[in-house]
Amino acid sequence: MQVTFKIWRQNGPKDKGKFESYPVDDLTDDMSFLEALDHLNERLVVAGKQVIAFEYDCREGICGQCGIFINGRAHGPHDHMTTCQLHMRSFKDGDTIVVEPWRAASFPIIKDLVVDRSAFDRIIEKGAYISSQTGTAPEANAILIPKSVADKAMDAAACIGCGACVATCKNSSAALFTAAKINHLNRLPQGKAEQHTRVKEMTWQMNLEGFGSCTFTGACEVECPEGISISNIAELNARLLKSKISGS
Ligand code: FES
């Protein structure tokens, strides 16, 4: 299989950047997309050229590190899939594949396809944890939680923080990410004690980081590899209103 990768090259945040084309052969259908980029990088090393910088960790759809735009879609052509789970059989022999980094002012480009997503870390630092002293691990069933509540909390907890929601949103909004992190904890009894401060602090940080406002286009839900529902954002808005009224 032979394809041409048209890849965004950028030396750093201040560099203007440009697309460069790389024809690559000897690819197979069962190679993952990242393995195809590895293959290209091996060729570049042999040719004494700079390798293409891209991020990954688990290569199993868990860590959220591997986000890139492929042919204009976050994580490539399939719904609810990370880049590392994408295989070359999704493309045709002779295809040109356009590869770009996440595009958002709050995610500045570090190099090539690698962006700085530390804005997400700073939102999490503001409240995506429980600070109460719990002592040793309690008996698992000491706090009874209805299955429907546990399921909804786990649905929100599925967010892997990849940033596809921001990159695909025309406003670069981080509302889906922030809502998922808040709702995960606020839906559970353990998260109730700090629910109001969590909502206020995390949304405040989200705005401080320069993410845009949510206008409910729904693009984030479509491109989210975990299929996190935008109903989380509606719930976040209701929680934010309640937290302001509560005065705590
Ligand atoms: S490398 Fe971990 S989700 Fe893709």
Distance CA 157, CA 18 (A): 37
Buried (b) or exposed (e) across 51-63, using 16+ Cβ within 10 A? Answer: ebbbbbeebebeb
Residue 132 has pLDDT above 80, yes or no: no
CA of 191 to the centre of ligand 1 (A): 28
CA of 38 to the centre of ligand 1 (A): 15
Q: Could you give the residue ranges of the DSSP H alpha helices within 4-145? A: 33-46, 118-125
Is 29 near ligand 1, meaning CB less than 6 Å away?
no
Q: Pairing state of beta strands 73-74 and 69-70?
A: antiparallel
Ligand 1 pocket test: which of 54, 55, 59 has the largest number of ligand atoms within 8 Å of its C-beta?
Answer: 59
Which domains can be identified in the chain, with CATH numbers?
3-110 (3.10.20.30), 118-246 (1.10.1060.10)
Both tokens of residue 99? 């590869």
Q: Which atom from ligand 1 is nearest to the alpha carbon of 67?
A: 4
Average pLDDT over residues 135-145: 83
Distance CA 47, CA 60 (A): 30
**pLDDT tier at 128 (50, 70, 90 boundaries)?**
confident
Q: Which atom from ligand 1 is nearest to the alpha carbon of 61?
A: 3
- Using DSSP's 3-state secondary structure scheme, residue 245 falls into helix
DSSP character string of 23-51: EE-S--TTSBHHHHHHHHHHHHHHTT-PP
- Using DSSP's 3-state secondary structure scheme, residue 136 falls into coil
pLDDT digits (tens, 9 = 90+) for 186-222: 999 989 989 999 999 999 999 999 999 999 999 999 9
Residue 44 has pLDDT above 70, yes or no: yes
Is 64 near ligand 1, meaning CB less than 6 Å away?
yes
Q: Show Cβ contacts of residue 83 under 8 Å, excluding neighbours closer than 6 positions.
A: 33, 34, 56, 66, 67, 68, 70, 75, 76
CA of 162 to the centre of ligand 1 (A): 8
Q: Could you give the residue ranges of the DSSP H alpha helices within 47-129? A: 118-125
Least confident of 5-9, 19-23, 135-139: 135-139
pLDDT digits (tens, 9 = 90+) for 82-92: 999 999 999 99
Average pLDDT over residues 24-43: 97
Write phi, then psi, for 48 (nearest 5 degrees).
70, 25
Is 224 near ligand 1, meaning CB less than 6 Å away?
no
